[in-house]
Copies of this chain bind each other. A is one copy, B any other.
Amino acid sequence: MSIEHSILAVISFRPSSGYDIKAEFEHKAAGLYWGLSYGSLYPKLKKLEDEGFIVTVESDNDGRKKKLYELTGKGWLELESWLAQTPAAPAIKDELFMKMAAWHEEMDMHTLSDHLRKRENESEELLSYVKIWKGNNTSYINKVGMLAIRYAELKLEAELKWLKESIDAIKNDELPASQDPFDLGGKQLERRKAALKTDI
């Protein structure tokens, strides 16, 4: 039910078309706290309209046909009841960390450095995007939203600091010590060798 509510949230800022909503997710929420595709957006809009949470306020404002949606009273109440409910714990899926956890002795460290540098670029780009967004005086960001942006900045800054340190540590071969009480690292290499020998 959460995508529906996110859509109601975006419409609450201003009456919006499907395209507008997609843009809002694309440029702002994306990478920060949510994602969305047309394939789910338009069916959801239809569903929300059928259920009476939104209505179309047709407008060909630019000479261009564009279906603007606005919240109904029922929609406002639904949105507000959702806002008041305890938010679910965040769901994070990050391949980088899964890969780092599984990185073993036979894997090339340069490849890992490449991964980290790529992430560094992405995060720098995202951070500068957030800063521009916050200072452009064009986008609407309310007081509480400003707090949320502040979090995005802090998180990205912490991440960038960690990335730089990690890239350095790899370069200078100064990685932290592993924790391996049962010598799983050694056994892993043997298991791998055995599997590759019998199997290929």
Contacts and interface: CB of A to CB of B under 8 A. Distances in A.
Interface of A: 2, 5-6, 9-10, 12-15, 29, 31-35, 70-77, 79-80, 82-84, 86-104, 106-108, 111-112, 114-115, 118-119, 122, 134, 137-148, 150-152, 154-155, 157-159, 161-162, 166, 169, 175-182, 184-185, 187-188, 191-192, 195-200
A73 B88 CA distance: 40
Contact of A2 (B84, B90, B95, B177): B95
A195 B76 contact: yes
A157 B107 CA distance: 30
A97 B90 CA distance: 10
Given A93-B35, A95-B87, A95-B88, A192 B76 contact: yes
Nearest to A180: B140
B14 A187 contact: yes
A71 to B, nearest CB: 6
Contact of A195 (B70, B95, B108, B134): B70
Contacts of A114: 86
A178 B143 contact: yes
A98 B9 contact: yes
Contact of A100 (B12, B144, B169, B178): B144
